[in-house]
Amino acid sequence: MTKLCQIIVAEGVEQIPGPNSMMISKLIQPITTIRLPFLPSALSFHLMVITSGFDLDKGLTFGYKVIDKDGSIIFEYPNQPIPPLNQKFDNFNFNIDAKNLSFMFPGVYTIVVNISGEEFTRDLKVVADKVYKYDNDFSA
């Protein structure tokens, strides 16, 4: 079966009651570019990872990271095991609140999702009204 993964970045998510005691995830302001008043800054956002074709009966691993334009990892959530789910799903969603990630420069950042060793990517453009210079030498 073909494995598919779509990564959506949004400013937030709202969980609302659905039919049959299900919860429905409603994304708030999906984005491809985010504008900040200044950089460096801490940024919070929501990731919805929509998957299809993964065998959830066997369990899997899930992790993600955010990489800057120079290839440096600015945040990493290492792969964690997800136990087998004894139910068939055509689609399975992961909802992630990424909180207070440090963005130092404007540019394109890459979100890399790893599901059982397979990587899927999505770019996020960060722009700022003002970019401050900083000295990362904190030895005083």
Count structural domains, the chain: 1
Q: Residue 24: what pLDDT?
A: 87
Q: Residue 138: what pLDDT?
A: 60
Spatial contact of 96 and 64, defined as CB atoms under 8 Å apart: yes
Encode the chain (140 residues) as per-residue pLDDT tens digits: 799 999 999 999 999 998 988 888 899 999 999 999 999 999 999 999 999 999 888 889 999 999 999 999 999 999 999 999 888 888 999 999 999 999 999 999 999 999 999 999 999 999 999 999 877 766 65
Task: Give the Å distances, CA to CA, from 15 to 36, 59, 80.
Answer: 26, 25, 24
| Domain presence at residue 39 | yes
Angle of CA points 56, 92, 86, to nearest 5°: 35
Q: Residue 140: what pLDDT?
A: 56
Q: What token pair was written down for 51?
A: 């998957």
The residues, any chain, with a CB within 8 Å of residue 77's CB and separated by 6 or more, are: 63, 64, 65, 96
For residue 82, the enclosing domain spans 4-15+24-128
Q: What token pair was written down for 93?
A: 């969603």
Q: Residue 32 in 3-state DSSP?
A: coil
Q: Residue 60: what pLDDT?
A: 93
Task: Give the Å distances, CA to CA, from 108 to 13, 71, 83, 124, 133.
Answer: 23, 11, 34, 6, 19
CATH code for position 124: 2.60.40.2550
Beta bridge partners of 111: 66, 122
Rounded Cα gap, residues 103 and 107, in angstroms: 10
| Domain presence at residue 74 | yes
Residue 82: φ, ψ to 5°: -115, 120
| Domain presence at residue 136 | no
| Domain presence at residue 138 | no
- What's the DSSP call for residue 39? B
| Domain presence at residue 87 | yes
Q: Residue 22: what pLDDT?
A: 85
